[in-house]
Amino acid sequence: MSKIRDQARAARKAGRSLAALPGPARSALLHDLAAALRDPAALPGLLAANAEDLALARAALERGEIDPARYKRLGLDADKLASVADGLDQLAAAPELLGRADLRRELDEGLVLERVPCPLGVLGVVFEARPDAVPQIGGLALKSGNAAVLKGGREALHSNRALVAVLHRVLAAHGQDPACIALLEQREELEELLGQHDLIDLIIARGGKAFVHHVQANTRIPVMGHAEGLCHLYLHAAADPAMAAAVAVDAKCSYPAACNAIETLLWEPAAAPALDACVAALTAAGVELRACEQTRARHPDLRPATDADWDSEYGALILAIRQVPGLDGALAHIEAHGSRHTEAIITEDAAAADRFLAEVDAADVFLNVSTRFADGYRFGLGAEVGISTGKLHARGPVGASGLLTYRWLLRGHGHITRDYGPGKRRFTHRDLP
């Protein structure tokens, strides 16, 4: 019996008690976890653990083995912890998700059907070297009553260990078995985790596109994750130029490595003033612009784009720009090149806005706002385990409610199916409050 199978089994067993927690006890647990992350007495220990990771990562950065963005994500400070704690308090305050039927239906006299939300069971969560993800994911697991086996990026090992210790301390203080949150520490353990299809109900994969594809290709367990984030901003004829420029800069520059950052700007001929404003603002913000021929006819200084640019997720301060004939052209480009993640239009025209919002097939479709709002915290979900670009189960930012399934409970008094049918008993199918 492997260590991981033991951990997954123990997590499943411990998760049962977690699932059965009454709502107020679950909220108290989450509030206490938030308090533990804000506790000034615990801070030095967490920062010391993080400093160990940072020292190793600094050396790797100097050797050119990791990039600066990765190094930056690794850092912990009181502000980051306070923001995670805020999210946990928000989760604690949100309505209890479990146990209460969301559908009650009388099928016949004395025969009552209920559909009751319940946890999936055990989550396998594989995430980047970003220690604040540990309490975030832990909090979502606790809120949804799921156990979790965590495998974080190895650069964050010491920080993850220290944060899992905080989680375990709070769980134990609430009479819960800490085994419900397990941390894997060895890189080889990932493949083994992916092989446990009888013990893990869902793999949540966070990280780069290549990594998510690797996970999907190497497991029979359902995988939730976003393999790609190729988002567009479309400037419609009725776009307000100042708004367009501000949104484009936010959507590209506020965090270029994020999956909800834009990679391509589309504009139609009548939106030339908005395009000009965007080009000026993006250039001033240091963005490399790669433009189609029609765009270059207006802005000859821009570097020419190639066809490959329409399918590139740069994750950096680079943006492709393409002219489209109008709304239909924008919809066709997005259909052909988008990753079904987040798509936005800038327009003051209600009819164009309605059509864009109705017809774009993507998890998030936005009007006159930055694509970077596509985020569980900003959506008010408390936190997110990730953004799903799949259509099955949860879509877009996935919070605690995306980690649930349900069971159908049917209570009767000896009812049998043979008694129903033509010329026999009929179902009443009456929904109950």
In 3D, which of 356, 138, 114, 116 has the Cα closest to residue 232?
356
With respect to a second copy, which residue has the nearer C-beta, 187 or 391? 391
Q: Whole-number minimum distance, CB 260 to a second copy, in Å?
A: 9
Q: Whole-number minimum distance, CB 411 to a second copy, in Å?
A: 4
Alpha-carbon distance of 320 to 315, in angstroms, equals 12
Q: Whole-number minimum distance, CB 125 to a second copy, in Å?
A: 15
Q: Whole-number minimum distance, CB 55 to a second copy, in Å?
A: 27
Per the CB < 8 A criterion, the answer to whether 166 and 141 are in contact is: no
Query: Which residues, in sequence order, are CB contacts of 418 under 8 Å at separation 6+?
Result: none
With respect to a second copy, which residue has the nearer C-beta, 243 or 257? 243
With respect to a second copy, which residue has the nearer C-beta, 67 or 406? 406
Q: Whole-number minimum distance, CB 256 to a second copy, in Å?
A: 13
In 3D, which of 96, 109, 98, 85 has the Cα closest to residue 31?
85
With respect to a second copy, which residue has the nearer C-beta, 156 or 387? 387
Query: 71-103: string of b/e by CB count within 10 Å (b at 16+)?
Result: bebbbbeeeebeebbbbbbbbbebebbbeebee
Query: Which residues, in sequence order, are CB contacts of 57 under 8 Å at separation 6+?
Result: 66, 70, 71, 74, 129, 155
With respect to a second copy, which residue has the nearer C-beta, 270 or 410? 410
Q: Whole-number minimum distance, CB 14 to a second copy, in Å?
A: 15
Per the CB < 8 A criterion, the answer to whether 304 and 296 are in contact is: yes
Q: Whole-number minimum distance, CB 422 to a second copy, in Å?
A: 7
DSSP string of 203-237? Answer: EEE-S-HHHHHHHHHT-SS-EE--S---EEEEE-T
DSSP string of 36-61? Answer: HHH-TTTHHHHHHHHHHHHHHHHHHH
With respect to a second copy, which residue has the nearer C-beta, 61 or 116? 116
The residues that touch a second copy, with contacts defined as CB under 8 A, are 16, 20, 79, 83, 90, 105, 107, 111, 113, 120-121, 201-202, 222, 240, 242-243, 246-247, 249-251, 254, 353, 357-370, 372-374, 378-380, 390-393, 395-397, 405-418, 420, 422, 427, 429
Query: Tokens 């890189």, residue?
Result: 187
With respect to a second copy, which residue has the nearer C-beta, 300 or 414? 414
Q: Whole-number minimum distance, CB 113 to a second copy, in Å?
A: 6
**Three-state secondary-structure class, residue 99:** coil
Burial class for 343, CB neighbours closer than 10 Å (0-12, 13-18, 19+): buried
Between CA 233 and CA 236, with CA 235 as vertex, the angle to 5 degrees is 130
In 3D, which of 139, 254, 154 has the Cα closest to residue 211?
154
With respect to a second copy, which residue has the nearer C-beta, 59 or 93? 93
Q: Whole-number minimum distance, CB 120 to a second copy, in Å?
A: 5
With respect to a second copy, which residue has the nearer C-beta, 64 or 417? 417
Burial class for 27, CB neighbours closer than 10 Å (0-12, 13-18, 19+): buried
